């Protein structure tokens, strides 16, 4: 008896069950015939057939079981957190100790951010084109880059760089389906993959350097639209970049999106140092691990709380899963025809977010958020892709890859 190969997506249909039952029935029939011919009922063989059947059946349900278990564990963690057994005061205390460490031990000179080593990586489905930030204006010399007037800049979080980052990969796949937008990843050259406290100290320096590149680009083309996106530490880097860009030019960037901005080492920093709603024309924030790895307080023009203020997202067990979900939610909304996947309700207060009783007018979360949206918003999400409750697309069509249709570089 052998197990048939089921749909790798975890989906099953009636034919899967029919084939499996047919195989079991045939095996039991053969066992019965063999037993009759030998005048002895081979119970060991029957037990073995039933055991293999159960093993195959568990394979069918494996994907569903995993999602069910992870969802239940996540709910348990949220319950413990909300009961006060693990309080946000403790996480604040840890963050404050982090700040004291950072103030005591400076970044070693070889690991301090250096403008000459930072790059802008312009990525298309066909080509990657990197330039030093100090020479950012040369991007306009690229024929494809010069066609568009919208630029998205992405900075990833701790322990990542532009070439090895799930954040970059997820957002890159999505934006490759938006040929009218120039997609640029900031290569931080390993300045965020060291001890966390030292990486924190590099955020403002990297942000300042990015602002220099932004100024060079907009000086060469003042009509360009700038959208900054940062995940975790990257959100704070982009905040520094936006603020310094305003100091250099007297202008605001068009949009800044914070994807679960990092909380550790940032809780007691001056508001003027972190992400805030006065550093861009529009600031939207998605909080997917509020109170632990991510900031829990509203800091933008529009702050979205998928699943409320629970620190663990639907379908997650580990904190990093929840921390990264903000990236996955936003990326899903970037794909064409999925812009309306995440419909959120406005809340009157954080108490309403906690109670999940927000019923006020709706706003989209993600790529096509209403730039006039103000306040805090709550929405429910699915435990797996497609995450948006408002999705009308099958999961097989989510995260599709928009490949190169021209000549590869």
Q: How many Å separate Cα 290 from the centre of its chain?
A: 14
Q: Is the pLDDT of residue 76 over 80?
A: no
Lowest mean pLDDT among 24-28, 66-70, 394-398: 66-70
Are 132 and 139 spatial neighbours (Cβ–Cβ below 8 Å)? no
Percent of the chain residues topping a pLDDT of 90? 53
pLDDT at residue 8, rounded to an integer: 37
* pLDDT digit string, tens, across residues 340-396: 999 999 999 999 999 999 987 899 999 999 999 999 999 999 999 999 999 987 655
pLDDT band at 397 (very low <50, low <70, confident <90, very high): low
Q: Which tens digits make up the pLDDT trace of 236-287?
A: 999 999 999 999 999 999 999 999 999 888 865 544 478 999 999 999 999 9
Answer for the pair 344, 283: CB distance below 8 angstroms, yes or no: no
Whole-number Cα distances in Å, 163 to 91, 169, 186, 203: 31, 9, 10, 19
Token pair of 104 as six digits: 């005591």
Q: What is the pTM of this model?
A: 0.78
The residues near 242 (Cβ < 8 Å, ≥ 6 apart) are 211, 228, 252, 253, 256, 279, 280
Q: Which residue did the predictor score with more confidence, 15 or 172?
A: 172
Edge-first strand listing for the sheet containing 119-123:
128-132, 119-123, 182-187, 150-155, 225-231, 253-259, 280-286, 302-306, 375-379, 343-347, 362-364
Helix (H) or strand (E) holding 402: none
User: If you count DSSP H runs as helices and E runs as strands, how many of each does the chain have, helices first?
Assistant: 8, 11
CA dihedral 205, 210, 211, 214 (to 10 degrees): 170
Structure tokens at 68: 């069910």
Cα gap 325→295, rounded to integer Å: 14
What are the pLDDT digits (tens) for 291-345?
889 999 999 999 999 999 999 999 998 889 999 999 999 999 999 999 999 999 9
**Residue 207 to residue 204: CA distance in whole angstroms:** 5
What's the burial of 5, exposed, middle or buried (CB within 10 Å: 0-12/13-18/19+)? exposed
Q: Which 3-state string (H, E, C) describes 218-232? A: HHHCCCCEEEEEEEC
Would you identify the CATH topology of the domain 88-397? Rossmann fold (3.40.50)
- Best CA proximity match to 285, nearest among 397, 375, 195, 381: 375
Q: Which two tokens stand for residue 84?
A: 């006060």
CA 359 vs CA 187, 237, 352, 379: distances in Å: 42, 34, 9, 10
Helix extents (H) in 83-160: 88-104
pLDDT of residue 358: 94
């Amino acid at each position: 008896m052998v197990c048939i190969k089921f749909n790798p997506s975890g989906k099953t249909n009636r034919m899967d069950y029919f084939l499996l039952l047919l195989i079991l029935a045939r095996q039991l029939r053969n066992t019965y015939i063999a037993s009759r011919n030998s005048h002895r009922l081979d119970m060991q063989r029957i037990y073995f057939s039933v055991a293999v059947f159960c093993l195959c059946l568990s394979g069918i349900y494996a994907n569903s079981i995993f999602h069910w278990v992870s969802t239940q564990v996540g709910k348990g963690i949220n319950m413990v957190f909300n009961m006060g057994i693990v309080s946000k005061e403790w996480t604040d205390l840890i963050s404050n100790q982090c700040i004291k460490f950072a103030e005591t031990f400076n970044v070693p000179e070889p690991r301090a951010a250096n403008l000459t080593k930072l790059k802008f990586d312009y990525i298309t489905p066909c080509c990657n084109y990197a330039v030093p930030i100090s020479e950012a204006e040369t991007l306009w010399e690229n024929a494809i880059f010069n066609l568009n007037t919208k630029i998205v800049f992405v900075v990833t979080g701790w322990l990542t760089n532009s070439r090895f980052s799930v954040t970059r990969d997820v957002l890159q796949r999505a934006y490759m389906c938006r040929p009218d937008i120039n997609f640029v990843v900031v290569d931080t050259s390993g300045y965020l993959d060291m001890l966390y406290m030292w990486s924190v100290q590099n955020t403002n320096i990297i942000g300042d350097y990015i602002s220099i590149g932004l100024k060079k680009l907009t000086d060469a083309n003042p009509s360009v639209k700038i959208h900054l996106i940062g995940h975790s530490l990257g959100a704070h880097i982009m905040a520094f970049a936006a603020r310094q860009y305003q100091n250099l030019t007297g202008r605001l960037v068009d949009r800044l999106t914070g994807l679960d901005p990092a909380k550790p080492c940032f809780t007691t920093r001056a508001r003027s140092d972190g992400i805030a709603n006065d550093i861009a024309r529009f600031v939207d924030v998605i909080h997917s691990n509020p109170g632990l790895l991510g900031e829990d307080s509203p800091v933008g023009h529009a702050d979205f709380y998928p699943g409320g203020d629970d620190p663990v997202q639907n379908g997650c067990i580990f904190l990093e899963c929840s921390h990264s979900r903000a990236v996955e939610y936003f990326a899903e909304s970037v794909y064409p025809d999925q812009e309306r996947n995440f419909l959120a309700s406005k809340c009157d207060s954080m108490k309403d977010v906690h109670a999940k009783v927000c019923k006020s007018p709706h706003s989209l979360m993600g790529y096509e958020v209403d730039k006039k949206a103000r306040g805090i918003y709550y929405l429910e999400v699915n435990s797996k892709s497609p995450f948006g409750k408002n999705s009308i697309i099958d999961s097989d069509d989510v995260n599709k890859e928009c490949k190169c249709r021209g000549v590869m570089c």
